[in-house]
Amino acid sequence: MEDILTIGGREIKNRLFIGTGKFSSYETMKRSLEESDVDIVTVALRRVDIESKTENVLNYIPKKCILVPNTSGARDADEAVRIARLAKAAGCGNWVKVEIIRDNKYLLPDNLETVKATEVLAKEGFIVLPYMCPDLSMARRLVDVGASAVMPLGAPIGSNRGIKTKELVEILISEIKIPVIVDAGLGAPSSACECMEMGCAAVLVNTAIAVAEDPAAMAKAFADAVSAGRLAHLAGMPHSTVGAKPSSPLTGFLRDV
């Protein structure tokens, strides 16, 4: 049976999602998206210029991709809702990544305002993917108000530190019945693979791909790592132990004969 993620009634084959910031050029971004064959692409509304015929980021995103505008720059629920509505009015569809950040130093999301915005947008028919600090109570509230997935951070945005919130994310995977998608901080394909081995539904990567020496090759590496991690999870990861367990019998040596 083909392993397909479903969000908002749409089938998603590639569990690597890619953000569109920080690329040196739109052409480089386009090659990265094509090389990794992604299905989901996030974009900040501020980079969408419908009037431009040459420098509109939308012109460089493969047609097959589901476009997910994010509410980057929003500092409260009202601003996030307004940005989402503007994106929809501009023709970007009804998917939205709710991102509300007041903290300028660590760029950590405001969970309370995120819940408020998610509730409003879900009632308006948006497919809402809220970016959040991994907290079980808040994740449950996001489920209750209509989130289509939850997107806990792995580490601060752009830090490339990997999955530093692993134990908290594992709790969400265990307790939350909608997809858990790790977003932010994953600096290497191995970190993305680790998230998938844990049972995450998908991961979102931007900085680690965009600032690599060869972004297209790095995008492909992340896509392969995500696929490998997902396969390992489905295969059944073995439990770790403190003591050693021999893979071959310790009896029957020549001296025992």
Q: Compute CA distances 216 → 16, 42, 94, 210, 240, whole Å.
A: 14, 17, 28, 9, 35
Say how many C-beta atoms besides its own lie within 10 A of residue 248's C-beta.
5
CA distance 18 to 29: 10
- The C-alpha atoms of residue 158 and residue 90 are separated, in whole angstroms, by 28
Contact 167, 195 (CB under 8 A): no
220 classed as catalytic: no
Q: Which of 88, 97, 116, 220 is catalytic?
A: 97
Alpha-carbon distance values, 1 to 15, 122, 203, 223 (Å): 16, 31, 22, 20
Residues recognised as catalytic: 97
